[in-house]
Amino acid sequence: MRLNKFKLVEKQYLAFVLVLLALNITSCRQEKAKTPPNIIFIMSDDHAAHAISAYGGLYKDVAPTPNIDKLAKEGTRFTQSYVAAPVCAPSRAALLTGKYPQNAGVNSNTSHVPNSHGMPNEQYTLAELFKDNGYKTGHIGKWHLGMSAETSPNTQGFDYSFGHLRGCIDNYSHYFFWAGPNIHDLYENGKEVFYDGQYFPDLASNKALKYVEDNKENPFFMYYAINMPHYPYQPTNKWRNHYKDVEKPRGDYAAFISTIDERIGFLMDKLEALGIRDNTIIIYQSDNGYSTETRAFNGGGNSGPYRGAKSSLFEGGIRLPTIISWKNNLPQNIVNDEFFMNIDWFPTLAKLCNLNSLSENVDGIDMSEMIKTPNIASERTDGFWKYGNQWAVRNGNWKLMGYPKDTSHKGKLDLEQDALFLSNLDDDVSEMTNLANKYPKIVEALKAKYLTWEHGYETDIPKKTEFINHLGINGKIKPITKLNNKYKNIDVLLDGKRGYVDYSSGQWIGQEGKNLEFIIDLNEVKLISEITIGYLHNPSNWVFSPKLFEVSFSNDGLSFSNTIQSKASTKTNAKHNFTDTLTIKTKQKTQFIKVNIKGINNIPKGHEGTGNPGWIFIDEIIIK
């Protein structure tokens, strides 16, 4: 009897111990679950959506991306994720503030001039949000949001910063080459540092690995802004040799993609080795589409089924690879086809990390539930974009653009017929067919939707181009000075149509650092009373009002006389963009008119391009 009682007590004791162990394990799990997750936001630079294998990889035959693909398998890959601008600085400002670029104070790329301001300091950033919630914060790589101390990474919420402040650098000398004089651009916590000859992607990768290791015991937010595949194309010899048989610039671009993927692998291996991979949210996204600029050898990337590239509001410029992975905490191997924008990361990450003090005036939408439960529809039903003269609005599957620009050169755009461009993205993601004439009611509805946006204005809406009938319409024009290779369609100077405020619209003739000179043949002698030139002033793109223009006359086309000069433009130093005219009054019977338009030659002091050749752009020579 006593033995049975002892056994009973023993069993009760063992049961009690097991309960305690279970409670202790549960408590530990709960404590672990409450540990704030680390955040690593990897942003690549000018990365085409379809240059990743997981996205159908137009390079998968030569350039697989195993590490980025692994992130996708361990998380969610978005197929309809957008950035809020098609170029670097405003896209990054949108990400870091959760606001449309216009509300973040960065409408276009920021200046490279020393001490020039970028994103206003009063903007509340993701770094400040995480810092206010006890996180360590680090920026590594490209900044491109200000050159002044008050707009530098360290004053925008980052405890630690290493990288370049301008839009791009040479990866070995770390010099900025866009404009003279060439400037060294490498800083650590606001202090200029020198690593002459060392490969910047390796420097940045090593700094990222060290930052993770130094902060493994603390929750951290690391903004890892990789500067590739932005030009200059300087992949490592390993990858350059690997793609030596692939045509350029595609081979160099592919080599850069592999260089990125390899360094992401280094980072993921470090997280695993430190035992913090499962407690680290990793996001991968590009800032805008691939570049077709001259410095990028006119391409190298490819937007796959999408039209457009960097600087374009077609899908190829703004619809980009986006992946989120929180291993063993969020659903894995998910393909999410819902509408998402980079401004949504701000409230989404705040919710996933249970952060307090979320800024109330963000434009982004919390998408955390959609990420945690993939079958939930996106709360985002519309989005707005505005860059230069281009604008776009998307509502559901419909997208309307004003003054579209196709930097991928996949098709031609008619200046008038395509000034408003309508697409149904469910039916045709290529946007190669303008549906505006077929669905006028939808155009009107989307225009009205755009005008409800605080930055959508009636003046943005294209108006029917008025035809200007003048004596030069049926005349002939030929250049005297050599034309710029990009602007040789001089017939636009006598077509009766003015251009809009976009030098690349096809309605302008441009010249860099030199004068423009033409001879116009009116086909017969006519009485002339007035000659007017239309011009563009767009100083942010180094386009300036002409200093003046002059005309002379001839009846044989050989000997010209009676030269008359216009007054100089009074708006040469204006800072805003506009179109205007210069006019010469005369009384002259003539068949031939020689027109000489004088530019500013070199850009004067006080402008970021000081000392470089300035541009002049002319859209019509009106003869009455």
pLDDT digits (tens, 9 = 90+) for 337-396: 999 999 999 999 999 999 986 767 899 999 999 999 988 999 999 999 999 889 999 999
Query: CA of 301: how far to CAs of 228, 252, 255, 551, in Å?
Result: 12, 10, 11, 46
Predicted confidence (pLDDT) at residue 46 exceeds the cutoff of 60: yes
Is residue 208 a contact partner of residue 267, using CB atoms and an 8 Å limit? Answer: yes
pLDDT tier at 575, thresholds 50, 70, 90: confident
CA angle 197, 301, 396 (to 5 degrees): 130
Q: What is the mean pLDDT of the chain?
A: 90
Of 522 and 466, more confident: 522
Q: What are phi and psi of 490, to 5 degrees?
A: -75, -10
pTM comes to 0.84
Task: Band the pLDDT of 59: cuts 50, 70, 90.
Answer: low
Between CA 540 and CA 109 the distance in angstroms is 9
CA quadruple 205, 206, 211, 217: dihedral positive or negative?
A: positive
Enumerate the β-bridge partners of residue 319. Answer: 82
- Using the Cα atoms of residue 82, residue 85, residue 86 and residue 91 in order, give the sign of their dihedral: negative
Grade residue 30 by pLDDT with cuts at 50, 70 and 90: very low
- State pLDDT tens for residues 293-303: 988 999 899 89
Contact predicate 323/71, CB 8 Å: yes
What is the Cα–Cα distance from 358 to 341, expressed in whole angstroms?
Answer: 18
CB 313 within 8 A of CB 392: yes
Question: How far is it, in rounded angstroms, from Cα 324 to Cα 342?
Answer: 12
Confidence of residue 491 (pLDDT cuts 50, 70, 90): very high
Nearest to 40 by CA among 385, 344, 234, 270: 270
In 3D space, the residue among 614, 611, 622, 615 whose CA is nearest the CA of residue 180 turns out to be 611
The structure tokens 């006019």 sit at 583
Mean pLDDT of 311-319: 97
**Cis peptide leading into 153, omega within 30 of 0?**
no
pLDDT band at 27 (very low <50, low <70, confident <90, very high): very low
d(CA 176, CA 108): 19
**Residue 507: per-residue pLDDT:** 86
Residues 497-519 have a mean pLDDT of: 87
How much is the average pLDDT of 409-421? 91
- More reliable by pLDDT, 2 or 437: 437
Q: Directed axis angle between helix 200-214 and helix 250-274, to 10°?
A: 20
Q: Any alpha helices (H) in 74-225, and if so which ranges?
A: 88-97, 101-104, 126-132, 200-214
Pull the structure tokens for residue 384. Answer: 């707005």
Peptide bond into 249 cis (omega under 30): yes
